[in-house]
Amino acid sequence: MSAPLRRVQVAAVVLGAVVLAAIIGPWLWHVDPNAVGPLATAAGLPPSAAHPLGTDENARDVLARLLAGARISLAFGLLAASVAAVVGAAVGILAALSRPWVDRAYMSVVDLGLAIPRLLVLIIVTAGFGRLPWGWLAVTMGVTGWFGLARLVRARTRELASGDFSVAAFALGAPTWRVAARHLLPNVTGTITAAAVLAFANAITLEAALSFIGQGVAIPTASWGSLINEGRAQLGVTPWLTVLPAIAIAITVVAAGALADGVERGAPWRSTGGAA
Amino acid sequence: MTDTTALLEVRDLAVYFRGAAGVARAVDGVSFFVDKGETVALVGESGSGKSVTALSLLRLIDPPGRIEPGSVIRFEGTDLLALDEERMRQLRGRRIAMVFQEPMTALNPVFTVGDQVAEVARIHEGASRADAWKRAVQMLARTGIADAERRARDYPHQLSGGMRQRVLLAMALLLSPALVIADEPTTALDDTIQAQILDLLRTLQQETGSAVLLITHDFGVVAEMAQRVLVMYGGQVVEAAPVRTLFAAPAHPYTAGLLRAMPRIGSRRTRLDAIPGTVPPATAWPSGCRFRDRCAHEWEKCASEAPVPIEVAPGHVARCHLVSDPARRAAANLAGAPT
């Protein structure tokens, strides 16, 4: 077995474990993540049998909040990545198959989108609309995050569209939509998947960044980002409040990155098409 | 009813590519015809404009390339350059089909070969999935693929190069097109497989009555397959003749050079006569005759005046000043037997 394949497998197992924890964790550790305990006796407790990862300054159970945060953060990333993948792939493929001036118009929009700092846009949006429900925040993140993906998909589609089997399909009389749907899309799914996995990791870190400056998902909903934000005031006293969600984010992002890398490099479609 | 018009008639075809390096006149004033059922070979070096000519017959030239105004492509009596895109699309694969050079890359890696043959029937005849599949399997069997029923479920990478080329022929000939354009269909194959594929192409051609425009740079293939030959150089047809005439009495120094560059069994010479130099870029053809830089028989007229096609004999045309200068032509001894 090749080393890249092993890396992808490890990454997939790690990511799978995180997702599994998010899905079944809150059932197994049946504690309300938002239940406030007696502040005088239960706030800022270190790990113990009753609270395996301790409690925060509001006497809430950290393990329960971490698991609940995983659900929100992962769902957030998934939703944002899905929006980015669908919009980006559609624009990328359309641009690649359009007349040169239409292609240039699409790509100007992409260049503009890439030129504007995304965090700034998100801060302005959240400041303007107040605290958005997390779902809408995720959609907003997807809508502002498809530009790079569109460019990748366009490049790959152009390469494939000038390749032999696309020309052959046109030469057999296949209409453009058929070439796009039957011949190009199945061959760019690798690129789309890889870019979407990265967009997923990106969305999770961006949400954390937004939460850190108090513009992320609305309190008291727990996300990994909001947990870091809540814990940072007590960093010296109760460091686990900040460190644990940070580690969760790091593990998820690194695993997603490795997975995307493997999908992009190890896949058989890298060696097909293109040759004119 | 007797039909006196050619199946395909190309007149003054010009395809230019406008880029940063200037205007590349890849095809520049090409005229020829193909009759029903005949095989015409289109011969020339890389860069001579063969493939661009082929693609323009299907109107598959992408920007910045363009078929220039004034070009005429008449097929089955229809002016192809006047058709709207939808009518043109309906012709592709149904009346004019193309076989590509690289059977590996011309097939889509993510679909079975049966699917890809069946797709042609689905596109043009709206055949049902089951019906199209059945026809695809029959067609694959006709191309000599053993156990076609099972092989149809294979993906391109599971087949050998020869088998893949059979699949491409099956796709091209499924709907019995009137014209098949074969762009170096055997260049990527071993010699033994090449002979099999050419045999197959000829057999299928007889069954379907298709005409074949065979693009190649291999005179062995030409001799075996074609009735007439068009020799291209510098985006122009420089000589057109029946096969025997061309081999026996080439009238253009370029054709003569190509023939001399061909290895021959029984020849005592150990070196082949290569034509000196390479094809100049299409952005910078020489003035006058485009071949003159590489021609052993160049004189002043070649630089000052571009030769026009002149009839050497009925059905034999060459674009060379030697044709109209008997003294020089005799001295050049183009048909001279290689010693």
Tell me if A100 and B63 make a contact (CB, 8 A cut-off): yes
CATH code of the domain covering residue A263? 1.10.3720.10
Tell me if A187 and B110 make a contact (CB, 8 A cut-off): yes
Q: CATH for B8-226?
A: 3.40.50.300
**In the structure, what pLDDT confidence band is assigned to residue B272 with cuts at 50, 70 and 90?**
low
For A26-48, write each residue's pLDDT tens digit: 777 777 777 776 766 767 677 77
By the CB < 8 Å criterion, does B66 face chain A? Answer: no
Question: Tokens at residue A115, please?
Answer: 């030129």
Which residues, at least 6 apart from B99, have a Cβ–Cβ distance to it below 8 Å? B165, B168, B169, B172, B180, B181, B182, B183, B185, B201
Tell me if B105 and A173 make a contact (CB, 8 A cut-off): no
Question: Shortest Cα distance from B268 to chain A (angstroms)?
Answer: 39
By the CB < 8 Å criterion, does A193 face chain B? Answer: no
Residue A112 lies in a domain: yes
Contacts of B58 in chain A (CB under 8 A): 170-171
For A186, nearest residue in chain B (alpha carbons): B110
CB A105 within 8 A of CB A150: no
By the CB < 8 Å criterion, does B54 face chain A? Answer: no
Q: What is the 3-state secondary structure (H, E, C) of chain A?
A: CCHHHHHHHHHHHHHHHHHHHHHHHHHHCCCCCCCCCCHHHHCCCCCCCCCCCCECCCCCEHHHHHHHHHHHHHHHHHHHHHHHHHHHHHHHHHHHHCCHHHHHHHHHHHHHHHHCCHHHHHHHHHHHHCCCCHHHHHHHHHHCCCHHHHHHHHHHHHHHHCCHHHHHHHHCCCCHHHHHHHHHHHHHHHHHHHHHHHHHHHHHHHHHHHHHCCCCCCCCCCCHHHHHHHHHHHCCCCCHHHHHHHHHHHHHHHHHHHHHHHHHHHCHHHHCCCCC
Give CA–CA dist A103/A153, Å, rounded: 13
CB B280 within 8 A of CB B234: yes
Question: Tokens at residue A16, please?
Answer: 């799978």
- Residue of A158, A165, A191, A192 to mutate, interface with B, max B Cβ within 10 Å: A165
Contacts of B124 in chain A (CB under 8 A): 173
Residue that has been written with the tokens 């000599």 in this structure: B144
Q: Is the dihedral of CA A20, A24, A28, A31 positive or negative?
A: positive
Task: Indicate the residue type of A106.
Answer: Y
**In the structure, what pLDDT confidence band is assigned to residue B89 with cuts at 50, 70 and 90?**
very high
By the CB < 8 Å criterion, does B94 face chain A? Answer: yes
**In the structure, what pLDDT confidence band is assigned to residue B12 with cuts at 50, 70 and 90?**
very high
CB B156 within 8 A of CB A271: no
Contacts of B109 in chain A (CB under 8 A): 165, 187, 268-269, 272-273
Tell me if A99 and B90 make a contact (CB, 8 A cut-off): no
Instruction: Say if residue A242's pLDDT is above 90.
Output: no
Give CA–CA dist A190/B97, Å, rounded: 31
β-sheet bridge partners, residue B192: none
What 3-state DSSP class applies to B175? coil
Average pLDDT over residues A109-138: 85
Tell me if B94 and A173 make a contact (CB, 8 A cut-off): yes
- pLDDT of B268: 63
For B124, nearest residue in chain A (alpha carbons): A173
For B44-72, write each residue's pLDDT tens digit: 888 888 889 999 999 988 878 899 999 99
By the CB < 8 Å criterion, does B188 face chain A? Answer: no
H or E element in which residue B153 lies = none
Total count of domains within chain A: 1
Average pLDDT over residues A70-79: 89
Tell me if A173 and B110 make a contact (CB, 8 A cut-off): no
Q: CB-hemisphere CA count at 13 Å for B278?
A: 5
Give CA–CA dist B94/B38, Å, rounded: 18
Instruction: Say if residue A271's pLDDT is above 80.
Output: no
Tell me if B58 and A171 make a contact (CB, 8 A cut-off): yes
Q: CB-hemisphere CA count at 13 Å for A102?
A: 10
By the CB < 8 Å criterion, does B124 face chain A? Answer: yes
By the CB < 8 Å criterion, does A98 face chain B? Answer: no
Segments forming the whole domain that contains residue A166 = 54-268
By the CB < 8 Å criterion, does B246 face chain A? Answer: no
Size of interface A-B (CB pairs under 8 A): 79
By the CB < 8 Å criterion, does A130 face chain B? Answer: no
Instruction: Say if residue A1's pLDDT is above 70.
Output: no
Answer whether 0.80 is exceeded by the pTM: no
Q: Is the dihedral of CA B56, B62, B63, B64 positive or negative?
A: negative
Residue that has been written with the tokens 């779902």 in this structure: A135
For B101-123, write each residue's pLDDT tens digit: 887 788 888 889 999 999 999 99
Domain with CATH 3.40.50.300 in chain B: 8-226
Complex prediction ipTM: 0.81
